[in-house]
Amino acid sequence: MSLLRRHRDFRLLWIGETVSRFGSATSTVALPLIAISMLEATTFQVGLLTAAAWAPWLLIGLPAGAWIDRRHRRPVLLATSAASFLLTAALPFAAWAGVLTIHLLLTAALLVGAAAVLFQTAYTAYLPTLLDRTDHAEGNAKLHGSASAAQLAGLGCGGLLVQFAGPANALLVDAATFLIALACLAAIQYRERRTTDVRRAGDGIRTGIALVAKDVWLRTLTIFGAVSNLALMGYQAIVVVFLVREAGLSPGTVGALIAAATSGGILGAFAGRRLAARFGTARALLLCELGLPTLALLIPLSSLSPWLYLVGGFGVSLGVVGGNVVKATFHQSYCPPELLGRLTATTSFVNYGTIPLGALLGGTLGELLGLGPALWITTAGVPLAGLVLFFSPIRRQRDLPTHQGSGAPVADSSRVRMD
């Protein structure tokens, strides 16, 4: 029987997260379009807006993991969902009152980003406690698949909402989804057991850093995530501006185009699990994170035809989400449960910490070199990031280890070289 049908609490978590992802996706399109159409923001300011949403990972990412490992996770999820609702709902009211500025938009993005740090860290540590170990792979696949579907719908609706309801009103949809997520979380009946006591936050932070730094598998995946996100966010921070100002597309068309490209993530959510079962988790990871992202090089050509953006974005989405399913399942089985919060915080600090840097890089390159050259530079970095995995012990394996000590970086005699 499907996990969604037999597990009520997981079903509630799944509904809340899916709805929330839909709302966040509408804001992904709406916020830069608000900055462009209402506030006449520059390319650099649009990049700065994206950077502000992710900067909290650099500021509070590490202590968040140690703090959450000492507490029950659901209250953190409830509190951050409520805070995100209030912050997002305040922006349309500011626009109606005529006081919305780029500085206010940046501040709101920064605070919502801080709430997202705490939510994501608690959520990642909460999920494995809610499910049996045997359900982790199915749970991750369903959550990543629904998140991609929600993102697909949200991106399309974001552009249409801006076009027909007005830029500021589009944010009301995101605010409403935070309320729905809050209600779903409140209805979960499962009660967490008391977590392991970590007496000092500093000890927890050092434990998380040591866990990643000393483990070849965790270290490799963390470095790859950082390099990959730098390139991904570098082009994503300016691609909306490029499609509007260089390709001459309307906001509604941009939203629909981005949504169609993101639909590759839905396929990736299910393909990642099946590729891992067929070829092995390590080989599936290489295919998803090195092979498919080469299609990103079609994105700078989208001024010639929107179809080129569609193909390039579809391939990137398919590979990234497929790889995320494999990595999430690996982390949950490989890491001891009592350390999962600190692992999440440490890896996220490095992985997500490069996102604001990538956004600033994209905005700066777009301002100095022009949008076209900036897209060529940043999209080229997407497949190049996969070389971190290729030149690591992962290339010599069929499967990633399932728990600490269960696998050593030794050659797999049956492997097929990816030369």
pLDDT on residue 156: 64
Q: What is the pLDDT of residue 193?
A: 63
What's residue 111's pLDDT?
94
- Kindly state the tokens that stand for 178: 């935070």
Task: Name all contacts of 128-136 with Cβ < 8 Å and 24+ positions apart.
Answer: 128/332, 128/337, 128/340, 129/73, 129/192, 129/193, 129/337, 130/9, 130/10, 130/13, 130/190, 131/3, 131/7, 131/10, 133/333, 135/3, 135/7, 135/10, 136/329, 136/332, 136/333
Evaluate whether residue 411 is within a structural domain: no
- pLDDT value, residue 114: 92
Which CATH number goes with the domain that contains 28? 1.20.1250.20
Q: Is residue 333 part of a domain?
A: yes
Give the pLDDT score at 405: 54
Could you tell me if residue 72 is inside a domain? yes
Residue 376 resides in a domain: yes
Q: Quote the percentage of the chain above a pLDDT of 90.
A: 23
> At 255, is the pLDDT very low, low, confident or very high (cuts 50, 70, 90)?
confident
Q: Which residue has the higher pLDDT, 224 or 128?
A: 224
Instruction: Give the pTM.
Output: 0.69
Distance CA 144, CA 257 (A): 21
Higher pLDDT, 310 or 5: 310
Q: Is 416 within the bounds of a domain?
A: no
> How far is 177 from 122, CA to CA, in rounded Å?
19
Write the pLDDT tens digit of every residue in 130-186: 877 667 666 766 776 677 667 667 766 776 777 777 777 888 988 999 999 999 999
The whole-angstrom separation of Cα 359 and Cα 54 is: 9
Q: Which domain holds residue 286?
A: 3-188+200-396
Q: Calculate helix-pair angle for 251-262, 216-245, nearest 10 degrees.
A: 150
**Distance from C-alpha of 319 to C-alpha of 293, rounded to nearest angstrom:** 6
- The answer as to whether 11 is a domain residue is yes
In a domain, 405, yes or no: no
Into how many domains does the chain fold? Answer: 1
Whether residue 407 is contained in a domain is answered as: no
Task: Report the alpha-carbon distance of residue 8 to residue 12 in Å, rounded.
Answer: 6
Tell me the average pLDDT of the chain: 81
Mean pLDDT (whole number) for 93-110: 90
Q: Which pLDDT band holds residue 45 (cuts at 50, 70, 90)?
A: confident
